[in-house]
């Protein structure tokens, strides 16, 4: 008998929770494909390592870019592979609850549940991300009080007020932490003439991105390509207390929080 599963199918990361076992998979929502044959070469962390570093015939993609399903077939394959990796087959048919970005359309929602059923799930239900986050954070959602959840993910940001077991108000926008990475990429390109990849931009954000001046000294090494010569170029930036260098203020006025862990779904 299969254990029931909960999947957080995020734009940036996918988590799988198995009843009685806890989180059994936590990996980037990335899939690497052979462009010519369509063959899946890697998924998750292994595929993430390939982003921006693949030869022409390999493409590493995030099928849920911008909180929307950009490619139904690839998303379906990713869900199938994920379920296979945690032991789901046609013989072990678990019930699956999936939390998806609230901004996805009705057609996209149906594609996700159909993909899970085709991959072997006996039943697949969807749950709104803020509701899953509230349950995971142990908020008193059944009580007649307003519980506010703010979830800033990779591709979407959602704010919801939950009361008496339901979502009373919800605002979801297709803007998230990936947009901060893109802003860092274009800033470094414009101001310093260095082309950097999305992974490097994310590392810079994690190392020195802050909504407030840094408490202690943080450093980030930026490796990219010189826009003029095309040669590798490295720059080191540091944010020292009490105030960051003025050139960093534009990139340091960012904050992001990851809620997947809190969601626990
Ligand atoms: N310490 C941190 N500082 C800044 N950004 C962070 C930090 N930790 C994680 N992030 C960012 O959070 C994003 C991932 O968040 P999360 O796993 O909640 O997204 P997701 O659930 O996959 O996306 P979505 O909910 O939009 O579909 C990544 O873009 C990552 O760079
Ligand atoms: Mg999320």
- What is the Å distance from ligand 2's center to 10 Cα? 5
Angle at 97 between CA 96 and CA 99, to 5 degrees: 140
- Pocket, ligand 1, Cβ cutoff 6 A: 10-13, 67, 101, 129, 153-156, 176-178, 202, 205-206, 209, 256, 258-260
CA distance 71 to 107: 12
pLDDT tens over the chain, length 265 residues: 568 999 999 889 999 999 999 999 999 999 999 988 888 999 999 999 888 777 888 888 888 877 778 888 888 888 888 888 888 877 788 999 999 877 778 888 888 898 888 888 899 999 989 999 999 999 999 999 999 999 999 988 999 999 999 999 999 998 999 999 999 999 999 999 999 988 899 999 988 887 777 666 777 788 889 998 989 988 887 765 545 445 544 443 333 333 333 333 3
CA distance 56 to 38: 13
Residue 2 confidence (pLDDT) = 67
- Please state which CATH number belongs to domain 195-252: 3.90.640.10
Residue 239 confidence (pLDDT) = 67
Q: Which ligand is nearest to the CA of 11?
A: 1
Q: Which CATH architecture has domain 5-132?
A: 2-Layer Sandwich (3.30)
Nearest CA owner, ligand 1 atom 31: 202
CA distance 151 to 170: 11
Cβ count near 21 (within 10 Å) = 11
Q: Are 192 and 220 in contact (CB under 8 A)?
A: no
Ligand 1 pocket: which of 154, 180, 210 to mutate (most atoms <8 Å of CB)?
154
- What is the Å distance from ligand 2's center to 157 Cα? 8
Ligand 1 pocket: which of 254, 256, 263 to mutate (most atoms <8 Å of CB)?
256
Nearest CA owner, ligand 1 atom 3: 206
3-state secondary structure of 200: helix
- What is the Å distance from ligand 1's center to 183 Cα? 15
Q: Are 257 and 152 in contact (CB under 8 A)?
A: yes
Q: Which atom of ligand 1 is nearest to the CA of 176?
A: 26
Q: Which atom of ligand 1 is nearest to the CA of 258?
A: 18
Residue 76 confidence (pLDDT) = 84
- What is the Å distance from ligand 2's center to 127 Cα? 12
Hey, where are the domains in the chain? 5-132, 195-252
- What is the Å distance from ligand 2's center to 84 Cα? 22
Of 43, 42, 256, 37, the residue nearest 153 (C-alpha): 256
Q: What burial letters (b/e) apply to 75-93, b meaning 16+ CB within 10 Å?
A: bbbbbbebbeebebeeeee
As to burial, measured by CB atoms within 10 angstroms (0-12 exposed, 13-18 middle, 19+ buried), residue 179 is: middle
Residue 253 confidence (pLDDT) = 31
- What is the Å distance from ligand 1's center to 204 Cα? 14
- What is the Å distance from ligand 1's center to 212 Cα? 19
Residue 241 confidence (pLDDT) = 52
Q: Which atom of ligand 1 is nearest to the CA of 13?
A: 22
Secondary structure letter of residue 86 according to DSSP: T
Nearest CA owner, ligand 1 atom 24: 153
CA distance 54 to 50: 6
């Amino acid at each position: 008998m299969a254990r029931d599963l909960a999947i957080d199918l995020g734009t940036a990361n996918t988590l799988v929770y198995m009843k009685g076992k806890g989180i059994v998979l936590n990996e980037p929502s990335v899939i690497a494909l052979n462009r010519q044959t369509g063959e899946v070469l890697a998924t998750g962390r292994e595929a993430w390592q390939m982003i921006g570093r693949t030869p022409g015939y390999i493409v590493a993609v995030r099928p849920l870019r911008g909180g929307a399903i950009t490619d139904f077939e690839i998303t379906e394959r990713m869900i199938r592979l994920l379920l296979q990796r945690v032991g789901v087959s046609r013989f072990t048919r678990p019930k699956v609850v999936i939390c998806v970005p609230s901004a996805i359309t009705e057609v996209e929602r149906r594609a996700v549940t159909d993909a899970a059923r085709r991959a072997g799930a006996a039943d697949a239900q969807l749950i709104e991300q803020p509701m899953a986050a509230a349950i995971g954070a142990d908020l008193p959602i059944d009580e007649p009080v307003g519980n506010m959840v703010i979830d800033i993910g990779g591709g979407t940001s959602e704010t919801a007020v939950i009361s008496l077991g339901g979502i009373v108000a919800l605002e979801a926008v297709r803007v998230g932490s990936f947009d901060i990475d893109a802003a860092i990429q274009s800033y470094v390109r414009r101001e310093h003439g260095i082309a950097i990849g999305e992974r490097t931009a994310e590392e810079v954000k994690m190392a020195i991105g802050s909504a407030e001046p840094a408490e202690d000294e943080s450093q980030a090494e930026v490796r990219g390509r010189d826009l003029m010569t095309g040669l590798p170029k490295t720059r080191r930036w540091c944010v020292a207390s009490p105030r960051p260098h003025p050139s960093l203020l534009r990139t340091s006025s960012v904050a992001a929080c990851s809620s997947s862990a809190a969601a626990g779904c």
